[in-house]
Amino acid sequence: MSLNAESTAFRSALEVIRAVEPRVADAIGAELADQRESLKLIASENYASPATLLAMGNWFSDKYAEGTVGRRFYAGCQNVDTVEALAAEHARELFGAAHAYVQPHSGIDANLVAFWAILADRVESPALKKAQVRQVNELTEADWFALRRELGNQRMLGMSLDAGGHLTHGFRPNISGKMFDQRSYGTDPATGLIDYDRVAEAAREFKPLILVAGYSAYPRKVNFRIMREIADSVGATFMVDMAHFAGLVAGKVFTGDFDPVPHAHIVTTTTHKSLRGPRGGLVLCGPELADQVDRGCPMVLGGPLPHVMAAKAVALAEARRPDFADYAQRIVANAHALAEGLVRRGAKLVTGGTDNHLVLIDVSGYGLTGRQAEQALLDSGIVTNRNAVPQDPNGAWYTSGIRIGTPALTTRGLGTAEMDVTAELIHTVLSQTTPGESKAKYVLDPALANKVNKHASELLAGFPLYPAVDLG
């Protein structure tokens, strides 16, 4: 039997790897098997296409390419220029942005590039101006002291972690919480929704240099027009981190007031999650910030990863196809169906439902912590992650919530009927799990876990993962 191109490519790659370190080849094969057999509901994960995955394993990995297209610090980067320019072109066209910077290695890196670009553009400091025009080794210790004082004493207002924000929006253990004098805005205690009047009040009182919008666990849309008006009212730069919902923007599910690109001064995102590309980040901005953004390397980034930029170009090209818009619509339809199925069975959801790709279950209604629920579900073949809920009494480690999302299962082809079955499986596990003697311990009948695991496998059997890839 002749093999198709995808099977041949991946089988050949594993054979080459196995000849050097068979344990790595085994782990790669095991990972594919595990992903094929489990209900992956982690909202930040997806399945990249074979073309995207293969674009990362090539000779671009051997290249150093500090600088930007046409302005490298190393010779011989003409092919890197080609793939970086293609990735940036696809990003600009896909999102309707004036400028795209595709070098960030991750979402955190993209946010760091954005923070420092804003600081360099906005902060009036003799030391900063000197740093921009002189070589680093020409700056005196006094220059550095003044620079640190200016750049480390600016204010940022972002969404709090327990309300659904990300740790890079000012969470204290993260570098963002150390770079900035930071304050958070939360959500309405009664509804779990953003109260824009309270955000505006906080902005007027705090007067931040940067107002950050975006989330990692907020199951609703954000009105970016209103947020921009708030930023403008206090003279703040408006930054949006759309890492989680970039695929919904690309697929034109979020338009008008809910599309951040026309409203924000600068937008960051990852290229995986709902965008379904390789692990990495990118930054979108207007021409006024483009020069500063393009200094991301060596400002805060190490050498670019040309093999990942090649994969970004492939994934962004895929996202410009008409079928991606259909995919994005199905993500949201599936999330609605999953939320409705859970509510119908008595689950308590933060905000009562969802407008996007994710659902946040308050598992305290089942008498559990997030950590107990996460592990019980994993035992049953359902992969999720624990997450804090607003005003979470269990903190950010144990939590009181479970965050689930539909991008990955939607990629596999599951629809709204399957989401209702998934809701039943989740509810069955959580309702039959009891807390143990600590916030991490729990009791779940292994027979029930095996039954749910079997049911999940039967559900997934009709939606094979990477059906064109046969590893033998």
Q: Sheet containing 358-362: which strands, arranged edge to edge?
A: 358-362, 401-405, 385-387
Alpha-carbon distance values, 171 to 105, 175, 185, 207 (Å): 20, 8, 12, 18
Compute the CA torsion angle 114, 115, 119, 121 (nearest 10 deg).
10
Q: Which of 155, 276, 279, 412 is catalytic?
A: 279
Q: What angle do CA 464, 470, 471 make, to 5 degrees?
A: 125
Helices (H) and strands (E) in the chain, counts: 20, 16
Residue 215 designated active-site? no
Q: Which of 270, 369, 399, 422 is catalytic?
A: 270
Residue 340 designated active-site? no
Nearest one of 253, 222, 236, 147 to 183, comparing CA atoms: 236
Q: Which of 241, 294, 355, 418 is catalytic?
A: 241
Tell me, what DSSP letter sits at residue 257? Answer: G
Which amino acid makes up residue 52? Answer: T
Tell me, what DSSP letter sits at residue 349? Answer: B
Do residues 341 and 420 make contact, with C-beta atoms less than 8 angstroms apart?
yes
Q: Which of 18, 37, 64, 196 is catalytic?
A: 64
Q: How many CA atoms lie within 13 A of 104 on its CB side?
A: 28
Do residues 306 and 381 make contact, with C-beta atoms less than 8 angstroms apart?
no
What six digits make up the tokens of 94? 């896909």
Phi first, then psi: give them for residue 211, nearest 5 degrees: -105, 120
The H or E element that residue 39 is part of is strand 39-40
CA distance 103 to 280: 8
CA distance 319 to 252: 11
291: left (phi over 0), alpha (psi -120 to 50) or beta: alpha
Q: Which of 40, 228, 273, 439 is catalytic?
A: 273
Alpha-carbon distance values, 95 to 15, 64, 204 (Å): 39, 28, 31
Residue 344 designated active-site? no
Residue 124 designated active-site? no
Do residues 444 and 429 make contact, with C-beta atoms less than 8 angstroms apart?
yes
The H or E element that residue 395 is part of is helix 395-398
Q: Which of 37, 66, 150, 229 is catalytic?
A: 66
Residue 273 designated active-site? yes
Residue 241 designated active-site? yes
Three-state DSSP class for 386?
strand
Q: Specify the residue for token string 């790709």.
A: 357
In sequence order, which residues have a C-beta less than 8 Å from that of residue 377 and are 6 or more positions away? 383, 384, 402, 426, 429, 430
Q: Specify the residue for token string 């095991």.
A: 30
Phi first, then psi: give them for residue 404, nearest 5 degrees: -130, 150
Question: Could you give the residue numbers annotated as active site?
Answer: 64, 66, 241, 270, 273, 279
